Amino acid sequence: MSSLQGEIERCGERIFALIDQHPDSIFSKAGYYQRMMNWSMRDEHFKVQMFRFVDVLASLRRSGDIVRHLREYFADMRDGFAPMMKVGLRAAGIAPSVTSFVLRRNVSGMARQFIAGRNPDDVMKTLRKRRSQNIGFTVDLLGEAVVSEPEADEYAARCLELLEGLAEQTRGWTDPLGAASDLFPVVNLSVKISALYSQMNPADPADAIAHLAPKLRPILRRARELGAFVNFDLESYAHKNTTLELFKTLFREKEFIDWPHAGIVIQAYLRDAEHDLCELINWARDRGMRFTVRLVKGAYWDYEKIQARQNGWVCPVFLQKPESDVNFETLSRILLENESIVTSAFGSHNVRSIAYAQAYAEQLGIDRSRFEFQLLYGMAGSIKLALVEMGYRVREYCPVGELLPGMSYLVRRLLENTSNEGFLKAKFSDNVSAAQLLRDPRSLIGGMRSVSSVESSPSLAAYSRNGASLETPPGDTYENAPLVNFVHRSNQEQMRTALREMRGRLGQKYPLVIDGQKIWTGSLINSINPSLPKQIVGSVTEAGIPEAEAAIKAARNAFDHWCRASVEHRAELLERVAGIMDRRRFELSALEVFEVGKSWAEADGDIREAIDFLLFYAQQMRLRGLPRLTQHVPGEESYQHYWPRGIALVIAPWNFPMAILTGMVSAALVTGNTVIMKPAEQSAVCGAMLMEMFEEAGVPAGVLNFLPGKGRVIGAHLVDHKDVDMIAFTGSREVGLRIWESAGKTRRGQRELKRVVCEMGGKNAVIIDSDADLDEAIVDSIYSAFGYQGQKCSALSRLIVLDENYDRVMKRLVEAAASLRVGNPEEPGITVGPVIDETAYRRMQETIEAGKAEATLAFQGKDLPPEGYFIPPTIFTDVKPEMRLSCEEIFGPILSVIRVRDLDEAIRVANDTDYALTGGFFSRSPANIERVKAELVAGNVYINRSCTGAVVGRHPFGGFKMSGGGTKAGGADYLLQFMIPRIVTENIMRHGFAPDTTPEFRAPFRWPPP
Ligand SMILES: Cc1cc2nc3c(=O)[nH]c(=O)nc-3n(C[C@H](O)[C@H](O)[C@H](O)COP(=O)(O)OP(=O)(O)OC[C@H]3O[C@@H](n4cnc5c(N)ncnc54)[C@H](O)[C@@H]3O)c2cc1C
């Protein structure tokens, strides 16, 4: 055993011995809370329901509501809970007000276990008590989710007030250890940085710092005057780099450069924590002044894992608990070795982690007074007392605030305390032995996939094919392409470079491509930048009727060989295009910023979706590519397979200029059709880029023809053409219905019934229930309504709010809308850019004027850029279901709010529309959620999340009624519309003899054989 390990064990055993002298449960409080926790640890379902119930309880005001929720969450509890639950629920039925009173009291008691006080005065009782135990404090103001700038300003004001109060009330308090007291001011404030600015965008740290620094300076200045200490807490990974950068920026400023009482958190569960810590230490040496690091493992482990999984990112946190433990020790070592410039605060309840720091400090000869241990209020009381007794400096982290803003903090604590991987449960609940708890975590790490860097994106190869096979059900195995994570500086830089290079290339001209030939007609369509209408992004050649005819001829000729090409050959073409798109990803995103006014993240989302369509449809086609036996019957074999329809005309919109175009084109091609691709005029350069990529990937001449032009000229001509076999259209209701009708007419010489795949708009509604989590509902509704300027067919247009919640929702909604950043989306953190063109701009202005005559203009943004088609976020209230604002599709940043009495009325209003595309519901009532899932008339129903942002394969997308033909882009059935099913049956019995078995799949029917 190494001498260090021996020393760690000695320190750890001493702590355990002292803990035994102050016997304590896992939680410092017994009774109701302890029972709940014990049950939670025994039964995962109970735990989920319990934490969800706790989460909603604080927002319920009426006892009837509390009892209803209690029933909804716990009525189906089985096993050991049944008798207890039955009694509880019966009591709730007889005396709801008593039950709700008891429940509230118990849950408040539970919250108070972790929340040290409601306000600065309240918290003083706790702090005085701790002082008598020689335990210091850091105070944290609860309230992390701010949705608007007034809320952020209020948080800043409360921080200042708290500082003043603490300084006043602790006057005369002295350091418990005496030695090195200059490093550890008595008053210590922990600040949540994200609570100070509502528009923090990981892609734009400079903007965040520009807004955060002015809010923090008065707090830091006052702290310095009062002799206090300020710590920057770390939150989710999305904000980590900005918080570190902010810290370094502020404390290099002249005013603070010589101030030692600043600290920041490092989260050891992050793979890049060591790199960040070393950079910080170098920064500090350069600055020439001490600072403090609170080393923790990290509080958002589950969240980070889910985020990474959903977005296809390399997971920023370690996946094995011992890896976090080992990293904690590595970082402890670095901290202690740099004691000359950094003061260490070890934030852990894990005795092994604590003992490691003690042993290593001992080895380096660092005095106990020069570092400290920090532990959370309400947890591991006996460890705190043990450490004090051993002569260490101990500080308690004391959250202050009301129950409601404290809920997410409370739920994090409950999760931590019941985690199977956590130290506290192992020690205090499972009674794991001291020897086991003190083992070197290095010995516990299992073998696993190594990840080179958090910044690296998984290669596209990992996503193509996705392991799908003929035996695997379609869709089940598809893994989406990753989004670009703009948290990483390298990605921000690549995007900036791409924008710069694209700016230098604006104004290029692009030809038609017919039968593999580049064609110039002498007539050009200019595509302009909606943020700067004088800027021409590019010009595409305009096709007329002769070119349309030529394209049909080319497509017809090419069809003969393309329809015979193997599925594998066609699928590989799509995969090659996906590879090219991935290589040109930033360039294409930059083009979208210029051509259609998308923000960085929206543009990247569009490219990701395009890549997904290519890979998903390639996979789906492989699954459908072989003739499949319909039934096993002796003596006969009957195989179903598919033929392509013929020539597909693809007419795409500008709002998802790469994704929708790519989706329709790739579906048509992979199924064996030849294609005439007509992009929207406003996004024709994106179309030209897609053509370029297909050419580079080797699409044969005539198989894909690029034909930009005026819809009413070539669009109409092609739709009516006898030789066009199918039309895939996404766009407005007006044009869609015309196509639907026109394609229904059979023309002279026409051989096929035309198939129309038709996706149109929506008048999408989101309902906010009376118990909804408003932090979530407001942020997601704002994003759904105003993200990409409301120009998504899935965008929120009607927000339906229950009476009971109306005033609270409206206050926060309007303030949140007012806080949005409107501007040229070349800047990374812009949420609202320009609408697409002058026609849209004028239509929006008219809609707003007309809206003022029928409803109340509750909010309209100001401070628009002087140039460009900018329409500010606009909110109308007092909107009635029969008004134009409620009925007509708007396709812009205009939100109508409809107030309703109850959920019955809300559902009625939501469904009372010509459209059925997306719909949403925010609620924490399981019964109401079930009801809305069953009753909301929409093609895509979203619960407790934004109603935009469908992901290929995960959320097959499309509506019905006047929103479309009910087909689902990105779904398993989508390709079927591009094909004709065919059955080939053969009697395989000869003179009463037939083979025993018939294979499930057979080779494609081809003649002559390949
Ligand atoms: C005073 C104080 C202040 C804090 N401030 C912050 C802060 O600002 N920001 C912040 O994010 N956290 C903060 N934390 C940390 C957090 O709230 C948890 O308390 C802490 O992570 C628990 O670690 P532990 O060493 O006490 O317990 P342990 O039981 O040893 O470790 C539990 C931790 O291990 C990690 N973990 C769990 N499962 C896995 C797994 N499968 N793979 C890898 N890692 C895993 C998680 O981080 C989990 O919290 C703070 C903690 C304290 C004590």
DSSP code string of 126-178:
HHHHHHHTT-EEEEEE------SHHHHHHHHHHHHHHHHHHHHHTTT---SS-
Q: Is 3 exposed, middle or buried (0-12, 13-18, 19+ CB in 10 A)?
A: exposed
> Do the Cβ atoms of 27 and 373 come closer than 8 Å?
no
Q: Distance between CA atoms of 751 and 705, rounded to whole angstroms?
A: 22
Q: Is the CB of 323 under 6 A from ligand 1?
A: yes
Three-class SS of 746-797: CCCCCCCCCEEEEECCCCEEEEECCCCCHHHHHHHHHHHHHHHHHCCCCCEE
Distance (angstroms) between ligand 1 centre and the Cα of 371 equals 19
Helix (H) or strand (E) holding 229: strand 229-233
Q: Distance between CA atoms of 258 and 170, rounded to whole angstroms?
A: 25
Residue 470 pLDDT > 70: no
Q: Is the CB of 329 under 6 A from ligand 1?
A: no
Q: Is the CB of 379 under 6 A from ligand 1?
A: no
238-251 pLDDT per residue, tens? 999 999 999 999 99
Place of tokens 């067919």: 793
* Residues linked to residue 669 through DSSP beta bridges, in sequence order: none
> Do the Cβ atoms of 964 and 758 come closer than 8 Å?
yes
Q: Is the CB of 233 under 6 A from ligand 1?
A: yes
Cβ within 8 Å of residue 172, ≥6 positions away: none
Distance (angstroms) between ligand 1 centre and the Cα of 5 equals 22
Tally of CB atoms within 10 A around 57: 26
Place of tokens 């996979």: 619
Q: Which residues are catalytic?
A: 759, 793
* Stretch 856-867: mean pLDDT: 95
What's the chain's length in residues? Answer: 1010
* Stretch 189-205: mean pLDDT: 97
Distance (angstroms) between ligand 1 centre and the Cα of 418 equals 13
Q: Is the CB of 395 under 6 A from ligand 1?
A: no
Chain centroid, CA 257 distance in Å:
37
* Stretch 677-701: mean pLDDT: 98
* Residues linked to residue 528 through DSSP beta bridges, in sequence order: 536
Q: Distance between CA atoms of 820 and 830, rounded to whole angstroms?
A: 8
Least confident of 400-414, 463-477, 844-858: 463-477
Using the atom order of ligand 1, give the atom closest to the CA of residue 352. Answer: 30
Q: Is the CB of 269 under 6 A from ligand 1?
A: yes
Using the atom order of ligand 1, give the atom closest to the CA of residue 318. Answer: 43
Using the atom order of ligand 1, give the atom closest to the CA of residue 424. Answer: 29
Residue from 169, 98, 133, 170 nearest 28 by CA: 133
Cβ within 8 Å of residue 366, ≥6 positions away: 336, 339
Tally of CB atoms within 10 A around 631: 8
E strands within 588-736?
628-629, 636-644, 647-651, 674-678, 704-706, 726-730
Q: Report in angstroms the alpha-carbon separations of 928 from 770, 772, 931, 944.
A: 11, 11, 5, 12
Distance (angstroms) between ligand 1 centre and the Cα of 350 equals 9
Q: Is the peptide bond before 120 cis (omega within 30 degrees of 0)?
A: no
Using the atom order of ligand 1, give the atom closest to the CA of residue 325. Answer: 30
Phi first, then psi, for residue 457 (nearest 5°) are -90, 145
Q: Report in angstroms the alpha-carbon separations of 338 from 8, 325, 389.
A: 20, 20, 26
Q: Is the CB of 375 under 6 A from ligand 1?
A: yes
One-letter amino acid of 900: V
Place of tokens 């700067």: 532
* Stretch 359-373: mean pLDDT: 98
Q: Is the CB of 858 under 6 A from ligand 1?
A: no
**Both tokens assigned to 339:** 């004691």
* Stretch 970-974: mean pLDDT: 94
Pocket test for ligand 1, best of 297, 375, 417 (most atoms within 8 A of CB): 297
**Both tokens assigned to 206:** 């400079």
> Do the Cβ atoms of 153 and 389 come closer than 8 Å?
no
Least confident of 110-119, 378-387, 478-487, 519-528: 110-119
**Torsion sign (Cα): 508, 679, 600, 888:** positive
User: Which residue puts its alpha carbon closest to atom 2 of ligand 1?
Assistant: 347
Rounded to 5 degrees, what angle do the CA atoms 634, 636, 640 make? 120
Return the pLDDT at 42: 80
> Do the Cβ atoms of 963 and 731 come closer than 8 Å?
no
Residue 690 pLDDT > 90: yes
Using the atom order of ligand 1, give the atom closest to the CA of residue 265. Answer: 8
Q: Is the CB of 374 under 6 A from ligand 1?
A: yes
593-650 pLDDT per residue, tens? 999 999 999 999 999 999 999 999 999 999 999 999 999 999 999 999 999 999 999 9
Distance (angstroms) between ligand 1 centre and the Cα of 423 equals 10
Chain centroid, CA 338 distance in Å:
38
Helix (H) or strand (E) holding 850: helix 838-854
User: Which residue puts its alpha carbon closest to atom 16 of ligand 1?
Assistant: 299
Q: Is the CB of 423 under 6 A from ligand 1?
A: yes
- DSSP 8-state code for residue 544: -
Give the chain's mean pLDDT: 93
* Stretch 966-993: mean pLDDT: 94
Cβ within 8 Å of residue 511, ≥6 positions away: 518, 519, 520, 541
Distance (angstroms) between ligand 1 centre and the Cα of 349 equals 9
Q: Is the CB of 454 under 6 A from ligand 1?
A: no
Phi first, then psi, for residue 580 (nearest 5°) are -65, -45
Q: Distance between CA atoms of 417 and 284, rounded to whole angstroms?
A: 35
Considering only residues 407 and 116, tell me which one the structure prediction assigns the higher pLDDT. Answer: 116
Residue 743 pLDDT > 70: yes
Return the pLDDT at 45: 86
Return the pLDDT at 463: 47
Using the atom order of ligand 1, give the atom closest to the CA of residue 138. Answer: 1
> Do the Cβ atoms of 218 and 188 come closer than 8 Å?
no
Helices (H), 474-628: 489-505, 545-562, 567-583, 585-596, 600-624
Considering only residues 91 and 815, tell me which one the structure prediction assigns the higher pLDDT. Answer: 815
38-82 pLDDT per residue, tens? 778 788 888 888 888 888 988 888 888 888 998 899 887 765 555
* Stretch 28-42: mean pLDDT: 70
> Do the Cβ atoms of 397 and 116 come closer than 8 Å?
no
Distance (angstroms) between ligand 1 centre and the Cα of 382 equals 18
412-469 pLDDT per residue, tens? 888 888 888 889 888 887 889 999 999 999 999 986 555 556 665 555 555 444 544 5
> Do the Cβ atoms of 345 and 293 come closer than 8 Å?
yes
- DSSP 8-state code for residue 633: B
Return the pLDDT at 62: 85
Considering only residues 93 and 285, tell me which one the structure prediction assigns the higher pLDDT. Answer: 285
Phi first, then psi, for residue 636 (nearest 5°) are -150, 145
Residue 473 pLDDT > 50: no
**Both tokens assigned to 246:** 């902010």
Q: Report in angstroms the alpha-carbon separations of 141 from 66, 110, 157, 220, 348.
A: 27, 18, 11, 16, 20
Q: Distance between CA atoms of 456 and 446, rounded to whole angstroms?
A: 23
Q: Distance between CA atoms of 235 and 270, rounded to whole angstroms?
A: 12
Q: Distance between CA atoms of 914 and 960, rounded to whole angstroms?
A: 9
Cβ within 8 Å of residue 666, ≥6 positions away: 574, 577, 613, 614, 617, 618
Q: Is the CB of 320 under 6 A from ligand 1?
A: yes
Distance (angstroms) between ligand 1 centre and the Cα of 269 equals 8
